[in-house]
Homo-oligomer: A and B are copies of this chain.
Amino acid sequence: MFEGREVDGYATPGFKCRMTTQPHPHLEHDFMGLAFRQAEAAAARDEVPIGAVLVDSTTGQVLAADHNRVEELHDPTAHAEMLVIRAVSTGRKEKRLPLCDLYVTLEPCPMCATAISFARLRRLIFAARDPKGGGVEHGPKIFQQPTCHHRPELFGGLDETRSATLLKTFFQSKR
């Protein structure tokens, strides 16, 4: 469980945040920056560079930060989002986390989007959009399905270029 707090705020025009004390008008903590450092750590381990951070929206505390571990764990479901949701839900013994926000460096796939819905997360903030594998704005658009019982607040495209560059560099190095 990640215990630290991020303090490097940055601007995201139009991004609303309910944090109590805001050194920056838009975002108190650089949660997405922390997710990016997780993504970079993933790349260094030869994992697809995607990072995720789960935050308690009432306190601003980072509850979990992780990255893809599909290769390390030999687990096709070990996406960053799944790992942080499972870490916090099992750690807190709460199968639903309605006060938590998820920051992730790439649009979640349909598996992770459905897990986000099951966990009742309050808000999903992702960086790059993913036309090939995403399940939020692309493909099955999980949260738009009539059978989807919980749709988090959505913010996509935050720091999109940084994420796209990270992924592009990683996959180019694999060729």
Contact = CB atoms under 8 A, between A and B. Distances in A.
A contact residues, range: 35 or more
A11 B60 CA distance: 57
Max count, chain B CB within 10 A of own CB: residue among A77, A86, A96: A77
Given A110-B142, A135-B114, A139-B147, A77 B70 contact: no
A111 interface: yes
A122 to B, nearest CB: 14
A45 to B, nearest CB: 15
Given A74-B90, A76-B115, A133 B147 contact: yes
A140 interface: yes
A86 B83 CA distance: 13
Interface in A74-96: 74-77, 82, 85-86, 89-90, 92-96
A140 B110 contact: yes
Contact of A90 (B73, B85, B89, B120): B73
A71 interface: yes
